[in-house]
Structure 1
C-alpha cells in the first residue's frame, strides 16, 4: 500500500489550501469549476492510463496498490488529476490580491 501513502500528503495539502480560500470571493463558483475540471481530468486519465497500460508503457506492482481499479488503472492514479483540479485554482486565488478579485462598486 505504498501508493496510497504517497497520495495522502497531496490530498491533505489540496484540502487545506482549497479550504483556506473559503473567504475569498467566488469560492462556490471556483469549487464548481474545479469539480467540472476534475470530472474531465478523471475521464481523460481513465482513457489514457488504460491505453498506456495496455500498450505496456508501464505497470503497477499489485502489492503497492489498494486494489481498486477503473479498468486497468489504479484508483490512486486519479488522485493527482483531482488534486490538480482543486489545488491550482486555490493557489491562484491565494496569490491574487483580494482587491483584484472583487468587482468594483457601482
Structure 2
C-alpha cells in the first residue's frame, strides 16, 4: 500500500465523520459561519508547520521514504502525502466535538 492510498483513507474517514456531524447538527449554518475562518487559519498554520518540521526531520535523516511508496510530488523534501494527516486531524477534531457536545434542550 502506498502512502497516498493510506492518506486518502484517513481523509475519507475524516470527511465522513465531519459530514455526519454536520448533518446531525441543528445549528450547522451557524457553526459553519462561525468556524470557517478559524479552521482556515489553523489549516494554513498546520501546513506551514508540517512543511517546516517535516523538511527538518527528513533532511536530518530522522525519516525516510521508499520511492515506490510515495507519489513523487514533494514540497521541499516532504512528500505531499504528509500533509494529509494534519488535514484529517483538522477536519476530525471539530467533527468529534460536534458529535460529543451537549445539546441544549429546545
In structure 2, runs of 5+ residues without a counterpart are: none
CA RMSD, 1 decimal: 1.9
- Detail structure 1 runs of 4+ shifted over 6 Å in the superposition: none
Alignment check: 8 A CA contact 1:68 1:74 kept: yes
Residue ranges of structure 1 left out of the alignment (5+ in a row) = none
The 2-side partners of 1:42 and 1:55 are apart by 20
* TM-score, normalising length: structure 1: 0.84
Q: Say how many residue pairs are matched.
A: 101
Q: Give 1:64's match in structure 2, choosing from 62, 69, 76.
A: 69
Question: What TM-score do the two structures reach when normalised by structure 2?
Answer: 0.84
SS in 1 for 2:22: coil
Rounded to whole Å, the distance in 1 between the matches of 2:19 and 2:31 is 9
Q: Give the Å deviation of 1:49.
A: 0.3
Q: Partner of 2:11 in structure 1?
A: 11
